[in-house]
Amino acid sequence: MIARKEIAMRIVAPLLVGLLVLAGWEAFCRAGNIPAYLFPAPSAIAQTFAKDAPTLLKALMMTLKVTFQAFFFAIVIGTLMAFVFVQSKAVELSLFPYAVLLQVTPIVAIAPLIIILVKHTQIALVICATVVALFPIVSNTTIGLRSVDPSLAAYYRMNKASRLQTLLRLRIPSALPFFLAGLRISSGLALIGAVVAEFVAGTGGRSAGLAYEILQAGFQLDIPRMFAALLLITITGVVLFGLMVGLTKLALGHWHDSEIEGEA
């Protein structure tokens, strides 16, 4: 009973806050008679959203495509890199600094370069977003693959386990919590990377995704539409995060400390 009450609180309380903020926002705009091109009321944003839904949703699909492709490549490349790093210290030492280099260079600074170099807009965007999303997966998975309980590792050695057996039965499960934490960060970064790259591409006149819609709406002073596009990006981010949380729960819920709530 208490658990159900807590879940209700978890949903109802933030929802209530949201509604209050929206109502206040609406009231503020109406009372102050603030024009929609300066600061639109929620109702105006909703109207615009209804009117422009087809274009906005099409833009959303593009952004999603870039985000998911980048996320996918980040997972594949990042995990492979981590496996290579773990196999050989020499490889890790020689390559890791470059992974850091990629991570610390602001994507906004390299995006124009990538977009000029790569002719196909979609591919250029995916490259930009992948670069942003890659690092958390590489570093987390590498740490994860290394953080094997030494006694268990000794046990495997003693039982003459093959390298493959040790990898599949010991290293990968040990790395899973770290990998999933990396995914959680990386999914958000893939979206940010996609939007940033779209902005850069959009400034260059290449149409793409929600960021381009925001840019265009800005040029046309269609502020409600900017808000509508922004809202879609935010919702996408929240949904992505929720998906990753769900995935983590599914994979670790039955055994990992991070997912087990006050039982003792």
Partner 1 sequence: MNSAVPFELPASALAMKADAIPVIEVRSAEKIFPNGTRALAPLDLTVQPGEFVTLLGPSGCGKSTLLKLIANLSEPSDGRLRWWRGDFTGVGQAGKRLAFVFQDATLMPWAKVLTNVRLPLDLAGVPKAEAEARSMAALQRVGLETFAKSYPRQLSGGMKMRVSIARALVTEPDLLLMDEPFGALDEFTRNKLDADLLELWWERKLTSIFVTHSIYEAVYLSTRVVVMAARPGRIYREFIIDEPQPRGEAFRNSTRFAELCRELSGILADASLAGAPA
> Using CB under 8 A as the criterion, which residues of the chain lie in contact with partner 1 when the complex forms?
149, 151-152, 154-161, 165, 169-170, 173, 176, 254-257, 260
Q: How far is the CB of 184 from partner 1 (least distance, A)?
A: 19
Of 55 and 258, nearer to partner 1 (C-beta) is 258
Closest contact distance (angstroms) between CB of 88 and partner 1 is 22
The smaller minimum CB distance to partner 1, of residues 37 and 255, is found at 255
> At closest approach, how far in Å is the CB of 180 from partner 1?
12
The amino acid sitting at 58 is K
In the bound state with partner 1, the residue whose beta carbon lies nearer, of 154 and 238, is: 154
**Residue whose CB is less far from partner 1, 33 or 151:** 151
Supply the minimum distance, in Å, between the C-beta of residue 175 and partner 1: 11
- Distance (Å, whole) CA 256 – CA 250: 11
> Quick check: 182 and 78 in contact, CB under 8 A?
yes
Alpha helices in 33-41 (DSSP H): none
Query: Considering beta carbons, is residue 95 or 176 the nearer one to partner 1?
Result: 176
Please give the structure tokens belonging to residue 170. 């010991």
Q: Report the half-sphere exposure of 18 (CA within 13 A, side-chain side).
A: 6
Cβ contact 103:189 at 8 Å: no
Instruction: Tell me which residue has tokens 């040029």.
Output: 219
CA 125 – CA 143 distance, rounded (Å): 29
Cβ-Cβ contacts under 8 Å for 209 (sequence gap 6 or more): 59, 60, 62, 63, 66, 125, 194, 195, 198
Instruction: Give yes or no for a contact between 64 and 211, defined as CB atoms under 8 angstroms apart.
Output: no
In angstroms, what is the minimal distance from the CB of 245 to partner 1? 19
Q: Is 208 exposed, middle or buried (0-12, 13-18, 19+ CB in 10 A)?
A: buried
Pick 1 or 264: Cβ nearer partner 1: 264
Give the DSSP per-residue string, 155-191: HHHHTT--HHHHIIIIIHHHHHHHHHHHHHHHHHHHH
Measured from the CB atom, is 30 or 157 closer to partner 1? 157
Minimum CB separation from partner 1 for residue 183, in Å? Answer: 17
Minimum distance from residue 169 beta carbon to partner 1 (Å) = 8
Token pair listed for 103: 């991570």
